[in-house]
Amino acid sequence: MDAIGMSHIAICVRDMDKSLGFYRDILGMEVTFDGPTDPTEGGRPHNYKRARKTRRRVSLSCGEGVPIPSLTLTSHPGEEPDGNPILLDQVGITHFSITVADVNALAEELISKGVEPAGPRESFINAEGKFRYIYVRDPDGILIQFDSGGAG
Protein backbone atom coordinates (compact mmCIF):
# COMPACT_ATOMS: atom_id res chain seq x y z
CA MET A 1 0.00 0.00 0.00
CA ASP A 2 1.28 3.43 -0.90
CA ALA A 3 -0.79 5.45 1.58
CA ILE A 4 -0.46 9.20 1.81
CA GLY A 5 -2.45 9.61 5.01
CA MET A 6 -5.63 8.73 6.85
CA SER A 7 -8.73 10.62 5.70
CA HIS A 8 -11.07 10.38 8.68
CA ILE A 9 -12.28 8.55 11.75
CA ALA A 10 -16.04 8.02 11.94
CA ILE A 11 -18.14 7.31 15.01
CA CYS A 12 -21.88 6.88 15.39
CA VAL A 13 -23.39 8.96 18.19
CA ARG A 14 -26.72 8.78 20.02
CA ASP A 15 -27.37 12.52 20.27
CA MET A 16 -25.67 14.79 17.73
CA ASP A 17 -26.35 17.96 19.74
CA LYS A 18 -24.68 16.51 22.85
CA SER A 19 -21.75 15.28 20.78
CA LEU A 20 -21.32 18.66 19.09
CA GLY A 21 -21.47 20.26 22.53
CA PHE A 22 -18.42 18.18 23.40
CA TYR A 23 -16.36 18.05 20.19
CA ARG A 24 -17.13 21.53 18.85
CA ASP A 25 -17.86 23.56 21.99
CA ILE A 26 -15.56 21.99 24.60
CA LEU A 27 -12.70 20.70 22.41
CA GLY A 28 -12.95 23.55 19.89
CA MET A 29 -13.10 21.41 16.75
CA GLU A 30 -14.42 23.16 13.63
CA VAL A 31 -17.45 21.89 11.70
CA THR A 32 -16.54 21.52 8.02
CA PHE A 33 -19.74 19.73 6.91
CA ASP A 34 -23.15 19.16 8.48
CA GLY A 35 -25.96 17.59 6.55
CA PRO A 36 -27.95 14.52 5.56
CA THR A 37 -26.31 11.68 3.67
CA ASP A 38 -27.68 8.56 2.01
CA PRO A 39 -28.04 5.80 4.64
CA THR A 40 -28.59 3.18 1.93
CA GLU A 41 -25.15 3.76 0.39
CA GLY A 42 -26.56 3.69 -3.13
CA GLY A 43 -29.42 1.30 -2.35
CA ARG A 44 -27.31 -1.36 -0.61
CA PRO A 45 -27.13 -0.83 3.18
CA HIS A 46 -24.40 -3.48 3.46
CA ASN A 47 -22.39 -1.77 6.22
CA TYR A 48 -25.22 -1.48 8.75
CA LYS A 49 -26.51 -3.88 11.37
CA ARG A 50 -30.03 -3.01 10.20
CA ALA A 51 -31.54 -0.81 7.51
CA ARG A 52 -31.71 2.89 8.35
CA LYS A 53 -34.03 5.58 7.00
CA THR A 54 -32.00 8.64 7.97
CA ARG A 55 -28.39 9.63 8.47
CA ARG A 56 -26.80 12.90 9.49
CA ARG A 57 -23.09 13.40 9.01
CA VAL A 58 -20.99 16.09 10.65
CA SER A 59 -17.32 16.39 9.75
CA LEU A 60 -14.99 18.15 12.16
CA SER A 61 -11.44 19.41 11.85
CA CYS A 62 -8.97 19.93 14.67
CA GLY A 63 -8.48 23.49 13.45
CA GLU A 64 -7.43 25.71 10.59
CA GLY A 65 -4.34 24.43 8.88
CA VAL A 66 -4.49 21.05 10.63
CA PRO A 67 -4.18 18.32 8.03
CA ILE A 68 -6.45 15.34 7.84
CA PRO A 69 -7.60 13.08 9.43
CA SER A 70 -10.87 14.60 10.39
CA LEU A 71 -13.49 13.27 12.75
CA THR A 72 -16.86 12.32 11.29
CA LEU A 73 -19.87 12.00 13.56
CA THR A 74 -22.93 10.19 12.25
CA SER A 75 -26.39 9.80 13.73
CA HIS A 76 -29.72 8.48 12.59
CA PRO A 77 -32.31 11.14 13.54
CA GLY A 78 -35.47 9.54 14.87
CA GLU A 79 -33.81 6.12 15.09
CA GLU A 80 -32.02 4.65 18.10
CA PRO A 81 -28.48 3.38 17.36
CA ASP A 82 -27.42 -0.13 18.38
CA GLY A 83 -24.57 -1.12 20.67
CA ASN A 84 -22.32 0.36 23.31
CA PRO A 85 -18.75 1.72 23.28
CA ILE A 86 -16.08 -0.93 23.84
CA LEU A 87 -13.20 -0.97 26.30
CA LEU A 88 -9.46 -1.18 25.63
CA ASP A 89 -9.33 -4.98 25.94
CA GLN A 90 -12.15 -5.71 23.48
CA VAL A 91 -11.87 -6.45 19.76
CA GLY A 92 -12.52 -3.40 17.62
CA ILE A 93 -11.52 0.23 17.62
CA THR A 94 -11.06 0.97 21.31
CA HIS A 95 -10.17 4.67 21.17
CA PHE A 96 -8.63 7.36 19.03
CA SER A 97 -5.84 9.71 19.99
CA ILE A 98 -5.30 13.37 19.22
CA THR A 99 -1.83 14.88 19.47
CA VAL A 100 -1.82 18.28 21.16
CA ALA A 101 0.90 20.83 21.82
CA ASP A 102 0.44 20.86 25.62
CA VAL A 103 -1.28 17.83 27.16
CA ASN A 104 -1.08 19.25 30.68
CA ALA A 105 -2.76 22.54 29.73
CA LEU A 106 -5.50 20.75 27.80
CA ALA A 107 -6.09 18.27 30.63
CA GLU A 108 -6.45 21.09 33.15
CA GLU A 109 -8.77 22.99 30.79
CA LEU A 110 -10.97 19.93 30.22
CA ILE A 111 -11.20 19.24 33.95
CA SER A 112 -12.12 22.89 34.59
CA LYS A 113 -14.94 22.48 32.04
CA GLY A 114 -16.27 19.44 33.90
CA VAL A 115 -14.75 16.73 31.71
CA GLU A 116 -13.51 13.97 33.99
CA PRO A 117 -10.47 11.81 33.18
CA ALA A 118 -11.38 8.23 32.21
CA GLY A 119 -9.53 6.73 35.16
CA PRO A 120 -7.72 7.87 38.26
CA ARG A 121 -6.03 11.21 37.64
CA GLU A 122 -2.75 9.95 39.14
CA SER A 123 -2.51 7.25 36.45
CA PHE A 124 -1.94 9.98 33.83
CA ILE A 125 0.53 12.09 35.86
CA ASN A 126 4.32 11.89 35.51
CA ALA A 127 6.96 12.29 38.25
CA GLU A 128 6.87 16.09 37.79
CA GLY A 129 3.11 16.16 38.51
CA LYS A 130 2.12 16.93 34.91
CA PHE A 131 -0.18 15.01 32.60
CA ARG A 132 1.85 12.90 30.17
CA TYR A 133 -1.39 11.90 28.38
CA ILE A 134 -5.02 11.67 29.34
CA TYR A 135 -8.05 9.63 28.39
CA VAL A 136 -11.54 11.12 28.55
CA ARG A 137 -14.93 9.87 27.40
CA ASP A 138 -17.23 11.64 24.98
CA PRO A 139 -21.01 11.86 25.69
CA ASP A 140 -21.46 8.29 24.36
CA GLY A 141 -18.61 6.86 26.44
CA ILE A 142 -16.13 6.60 23.56
CA LEU A 143 -12.53 6.85 24.76
CA ILE A 144 -10.37 9.66 23.45
CA GLN A 145 -6.69 9.95 24.29
CA PHE A 146 -4.80 13.22 24.14
CA ASP A 147 -1.03 12.94 23.94
CA SER A 148 2.03 14.87 22.84
CA GLY A 149 2.81 12.64 19.87
CA GLY A 150 5.88 11.18 21.51
CA ALA A 151 7.33 14.62 22.20
CA GLY A 152 7.00 14.35 25.94
pLDDT tens digits, 45-102 = 667 777 888 899 999 998 777 666 789 999 999 988 888 888 889 888 899 999 899 9
Please give the Cα distance from 12 to 139 (Å, whole number): 11
3-9: long-range contacts (C-beta < 8 A, 24 or more apart)?
5/67, 5/68, 5/69, 6/68, 6/69, 7/68, 7/69, 7/70, 8/59, 8/68, 8/69, 8/70, 8/71, 8/72, 9/69, 9/70, 9/71, 9/72, 9/96
**Of 16-30, 31-45, 50-64, where does mean pLDDT reach its minimum?**
31-45
Residue 152: pLDDT band with limits 50, 70, 90: very low
Q: What is the DSSP letter of 118?
A: S
Q: What is the predicted pLDDT for the residue at 63? A: 73
Q: What is the predicted pLDDT for the residue at 50? A: 79
Name residue 10's beta-bridge partners. 72
Please give the Cα distance from 91 to 87 (Å, whole number): 9
pLDDT at 150 over 90: no
Please give the Cα distance from 99 to 135 (Å, whole number): 12
CATH numbers and ranges of domains, the chain: 1-39+52-80 (3.10.180.10), 84-152 (3.10.180.10)
What average pLDDT does the segment 130-141 reach?
Answer: 94
Answering whether pTM is above 0.95, one says no
pLDDT at 109 over 90: yes
pLDDT at 149 over 70: yes
